[in-house]
Structures are given as C-alpha cells and as structure tokens.
Structure 1
Amino acid sequence: MAERDLEGWTIAFDLDGTLVETAPDIVGTLNRLLVQHDLPALPLEIARNYIGHGAVALLKQGFTAAGMAWDEAASPALLEAFLVDYMAHIADESTAYPGAIEALDGLAARGAILCVATNKPTDLAVALFRAIGLEDRFAAICGPKSVSARKPDAAHIREAVLQAGGDPARAIMVGDSITDLDAARATGVACILTTFGYTLTPAAELGADALIEHFDALPAAIERLVGGGQALRRASNA
C-alpha cells in the first residue's frame, strides 16, 4: 500500500495541454468554421497555441490569422456554432497524455485530493473527461461558470480547491501556460508547468516552480515542492 504522504494536499490541474491533448479536436472545430466562412484552415502546429484562453479568444486569434478582420458583433453566433460543433467532436482524437492516468492514480493513492481548474466550460470539460474515462478521478471539475472568476484570477484555483474539499493553503497548480502560472501566483500556490502544452511562450521561459516533460516526472516534482517547503512558502506569502 502506498504511503499517504500527500494527505491534506490538493493538486489542481488545467485540462487542455496539461492532462489531455485536445488540440486536434479543438482546431478541427475552428477549421470547420473557417472553411464555412471561405477562409483557409490553419495548420495544427500554429493554431494549437491559441488554446487556453477561452473559445472567444481562440476564435478571434484564429479568424485573424486566417485573414479576416474580427467582428465583435459576430462573436456570440460564432461562439455558439463553435460550442455545438466541438461538443459533437469532443473526443474524436483527444487523449490523455502519456503517463497522465498513472500519475493521477498514484497521487490519489498517496492521499492527494485531485481537482480541475480550467477555462474550458464545465459542461465541455465533464463531457470530455467522461468520454475518455477520467471523470471519476476528480473531486471537482471547475470551468469558469463553476467559480466566481476565471483564471488568471486567484478565485478560480482557490474555489476549485475548496469545492474539492481541500485547503487552498496546501495546494499546487499543474498547467501549461502563463494563464495557469499567473493564477497560481495570484493564489499563492506553487506551479508546475508541462513543456508539451499550448503556449506561445515556451514554458521554460515562464518562471514556473517546476517543469515536467512527461507525467512520469510529476510525482517527483510535487515531492520536491512539498518536501522543500516551497509550496507552503508560496501560500504563506500570498
């Protein structure tokens, strides 16, 4: 039986680009909308880095990159079309990153509470996790409407941790972008970033407390932050 050395700690995860490789399905929906508007589809390797700031930001960046001036008046209709299409294709190609499931199960066995703080709408996040068999691994799955403010506001992580039954003073954020890092800093918690996620600025340049290139490295990164007291110092200085 695993030692429950993480009892009392909550690990909050971002979703897109952190736990799940969702870019093929998200960009697929974006490209279908672009083609419907007689615009060229965007390469996956470019459009994937527009993910993480919400669907409206993705649409704005995508349509602008495809050569169409962004029309704020058209935003609600485009957003609705995006959400409908994406829900229909939410797990066509999306998969958990290698080692993610094993890492989640290992952390839970050691007593950690697991939750999700994502800027993806909660219904989409739950539908995706359900489709790939991850829903039951989290004590709370919190998109923007499940909390009082979205990342990078501190309220998102803090309230997600509380909804999971955890203590925000004993939490660590795992994400992939500056949005996650800024939210963690605002909350006063340590932040681990993946190097394989969605970010225009390389994760190594963002100044996170730790970086992981594979989920196999996550337990050790958490141990260093908890054991060295860095995670608690972050919280006490918030």
Structure 2
Amino acid sequence: MSTRGTVVFDVDGTLADTAADLIAAANACFRSRGLGDLLHPRDDAGIAFHGGRAMLRAGYGRAPADTLLPPGAEDEDFPRLLDFYDDGIAVSTRLYDGVEEALNALAADGAILSVCTNKPQALAEKLLAALGIRDRFAALVGADTLPVRKPDPRPYSAAVERAGGTVARSFLVGDTETDLKTARASGVPVTLVGFGPEGPGIARFSPDHILDHFAELPALARDWLRP
C-alpha cells in the first residue's frame, strides 16, 4: 500500500456547481404533476446540495394548499428525479474555478486523489466523465456503493483504501455539515469550500480550514499530508 497522502473530494458543491441541473430534474417531477417549477436554480442551490429528497420535500412544501399529492409521493418521484437528472446531468454544471489546475498540482506532488460522495455512484461516474476529470481519481465511492453513506465513516475509509491510501494520511474536501461530520467520524482533517452556496456562512460549522479558492489546495495538502 502506498505511503503517499490521499485527498478525498465530495462532488456536488465541492468540485462542481451542479445545482441548476439538480433543480431542473426536481422541477421536471413537479411539472409532471401539473405544479410547474417550484424551485429556483440559483436561490435554491443550498437545497439542491442536500440531495434529491430534500428538493422534493421543499417543492411539495411550496405547492398550492389545495394540491392533492398521493401518499408516498416522495418515494414515487425520487427514482423519476434520478432519471430526469441522468438525462440532463451536465447541461449547466460547471467545475469551480481552479479545480483542474489544483488536481494537476496535487498529482504532481504525488498525492492520491479519490472521491466520496452521496451522489449515486453511476451518476457520479457519468458526471465526472462528462466534466473530463474522472481519470484524475483513483477511486470513487458513491451513495450506493456500500450499504451506508456519509456521514458514516465507512464510505470515506473505502474511498481512501480503494485508491491505495491510508486513512491516517488523508483529508476531506467538502462543502456541507455532512462532510464535516464524515471527517470527524473518520478522525481526519476537513476543509470546506467557502465559495459554494453557503458562502462565508460555512464557518459556522468550524471546519479545520475554509478553502476560498482551489489555488490554495496544493499548499494545504503539502502541510496536512507531510510525512
């Protein structure tokens, strides 16, 4: 097993701004029920990064008072949302500024790169391929790769170990409280991005570091992963 350090990344809201395409999928579900577009692609970005079910619940909560939704509407619409999203996974999604340069610099420094996301694995694989960066990562663990998902520490451990690294010499790059809880449960440092939908508000979670731009990441990795 390699003794090199490992940098593990979340996907949505960390490597890429996926909110508009996620919300488009949720709105497609709402339109199919005659409710129109209930979520805004910019104003509701924070909801999008909490997952498909969070978007559906938020949308249902905004439906007119006389709307009659069938029992189990969320369970019925969730797989449909994933299908809609699969069909338009990279229409508006863009990598955050500096991602590719940071990945190149980390690789040049000898770091192992991996992904741990609560996005279904097949969708994460498809998105990163569409964005042209899937080959940068030695492993990818998604929401359905294991029976558990973040913030359980096991997906994180799997993402590190499947990439050939060791948890003791790794850290997580994320954007939500879930990522912070994952890192704490795994006993590793975490940096949360300060340019996602939370903006400076991410500081309320007290991460070990706030990443204001991806240009800062290689130096942080050299500091945190030094032998």
TM-score by length of 2: 0.89
Q: Is the 8 A contact 1:13 1:174 kept in 2?
A: yes
In structure 1, the residue matched to 2:10 is: 14
In structure 1, the residue matched to 2:45 is: 48
In structure 2, the residue matched to 1:154 is: 153
Q: How far apart are 1:74 and its partner, in Å?
A: 2.1
Unaligned 5+ residue runs, structure 2? none
C-alpha separation in 1, matches of 2:76 and 2:117: 23
- Of 56, 68, 74, the residue aligned with 1:59 is 56
Q: Is the 8 A contact 1:140 1:160 kept in 2?
A: yes
C-alpha separation in 2, matches of 1:72 and 1:107: 49
Residue identity in the other structure for 1:99:
G
In structure 1, the residue matched to 2:144 is: 145
Q: How far apart are 1:226 and its partner, in Å?
A: 3.6
C-alpha separation in 2, matches of 1:202 and 1:69: 36
197 and 72 in structure 1: CA distance in 2 versus 1, 3 angstrom threshold: farther
In structure 1, the residue matched to 2:25 is: 29
Q: How do residues 145-184 of structure 1 correspond to structure 2 at under 5 angstroms?
A: 145-184=144-183
Q: How far apart are 1:66 and its partner, in Å?
A: 4.3
Q: Is the 8 A contact 1:51 1:198 kept in 2?
A: no
Q: How far apart are 1:38 and its partner, in Å?
A: 2.7
C-alpha separation in 1, matches of 2:188 and 2:10: 14
In structure 2, the residue matched to 1:106 is: 105
C-alpha separation in 2, matches of 1:222 and 1:33: 41
Q: How far apart are 1:198 and its partner, in Å?
A: 4.0
170 and 86 in structure 1: CA distance in 2 versus 1, 3 angstrom threshold: same
Q: How far apart are 1:70 and its partner, in Å?
A: 7.6
Unaligned 5+ residue runs, structure 1? 1-5, 230-238
Q: How far apart are 1:69 and its partner, in Å?
A: 8.4
C-alpha separation in 2, matches of 1:72 and 1:197: 34
Q: How far apart are 1:36 and its partner, in Å?
A: 2.3
C-alpha separation in 2, matches of 1:65 and 1:204: 29
Q: 3-state DSSP class of the match of 1:136?
A: helix
In structure 2, the residue matched to 1:133 is: 132
Calculate the aligned-residue CA RMSD, in Å.
2.3
- Of 26, 32, 38, the residue aligned with 2:34 is 38
TM-score by length of 1: 0.86
Q: Is the 8 A contact 2:194 2:200 kept in 1?
A: no
C-alpha separation in 2, matches of 1:113 and 1:54: 27
Q: How far apart are 1:40 and its partner, in Å?
A: 4.3
